[in-house]
Structure 1
Amino acid sequence: MDALGVVLIIIGVVVVIVLIWAIATYNGLVRLRNLVQEAWRQIDVELHRRYDLIPNLIETVKGYAAHERAVFDEVTEARAAAATPGTTPAQQAQQENQLTAALGRLFAVAEAYPELRAAEAFTRLQAELTNTEDRIAAGRRFYNANVRQLNTKVETFPPNIVASLFSFRRAEYFEANDPAVRTAPAVSFADREGDVGIYRGTERTAPARADASPSFGGQRGGYDPARDGGRPTEGVVPPDEQGAQR
């Protein structure tokens, strides 16, 4: 066998090895992307279960504290915003933070009504809501773990070559990072006129929209279940940057 034949054999072996590696890397990226999508769908199911429990919870509290209109309105508005379809994981997480804070104020008000806290309907709904929030937290951990693996593979060399060729993108984390959620709610049983019995809460300003801050993990763009539908795209300008480009 001459030298040319040896060189051709070596080149062929190298090409086969590279091809096998590229196929394995591509399949690994697909698997991670599918895991991220599946984890997000599990979170979405639990979030909608949470939304379904909230109206019944509000109606139960109204039966004992019908005058607490400010709290009811706040929870209802936060629920409506969180249930808005088509939001990105970053926007969804911010809205869930606001809903969690509103629910915290609702439960703080309920503490002032012993009969309500002893009511079977209230305790059952509270237990179901707590259980749902625990499952959301578990789903968030599972989702974020898969996002971390996908992002690591998309960014590291040499897998990022395959990721770039086939338009695999970074995914967004879904995490509670609003300090207000961890702050004990302030409850007042007197309005601004000094009438006791109407919950007014603390002064609240309009919550910052998700487009006023970067995505979670400092990311802009990334995998968006509502927008991408499981098929990552390349070169999509995030909504929060389109206004700046104009």
Structure 2
Amino acid sequence: MSPTEPAPVRKSIPQVDFDLDDLDADEERYLDFYRKVGVHEDMLVPLAEHHDGPHSYYVLFDRTATLGHPGMPQVLAVHLQRDHEKRTFSFEKAPLPLPAMAQSWLIHRGCPQDAIGLAPELGPPPADEATRALERRLAGDGDHYAMGYSYTSDDPDDMVVVVALRALNERAPSPFRVVVEEVDTDTWTPTLREGGFDTIDEALQWCDDRLTGEAGPLPPVRPAAAASRPSGGAKAPAPRPPRRSR
């Protein structure tokens, strides 16, 4: 069971309903949606959803992700826009490693921030206020960062998600961030923490060390006043995944 999969439930898990039965005029688009999203519809758990006229926004846990390549994101963000007059629709989707990142993706596509809260009965409660605060910030400020790398580990002895981010503002303090979610399987509560790095290589090395059990504490994020990078500096290279040792 993954860090973001709903805890063992006391009632049946709801299934997602995309409400597209009458919107099949554009067969190519319908088939594209089916191949990319709908084919797994009965394995998608709606952690959050919001409907606003022709728009629907979904944060989904994809229970099929564990069957794919190791480390793949297990949360899926989907934005649907329906046109009932033409009997068709458009869609966007994004696999993301953390629910807060899916919320952010949807918020920056028009979903009201206060309308896409996670269903408390479907997911484990945050372990502490620091986790809640970081979740809120990731959801609200997610467009300030680009994701370069993520890995989701389903190891029952060490359930962890690591994410490396690059600040889009080159003057940002600690321009490279690592967000790590760890789940206490005794209490079934996730803890979310963030660390700051000066280079992408340092950030990716910490991720790799964490996945092999060799990482030290996350370095703190430097405060904004400590940032003193010159405006004419070279742009950071695109992040690349670390070499996995296992």
What's the TM-score, normalizing by structure 1? 0.30
Mark the structure with the bigger radius of gyration.
1
What's the TM-score, normalizing by structure 2? 0.30
- The structure richer in strand per residue is 2
Taking CA–CA contacts closer than 8 Å with sequence separation of 6 or more, which of the two structures ends up with the larger relative contact order? 1
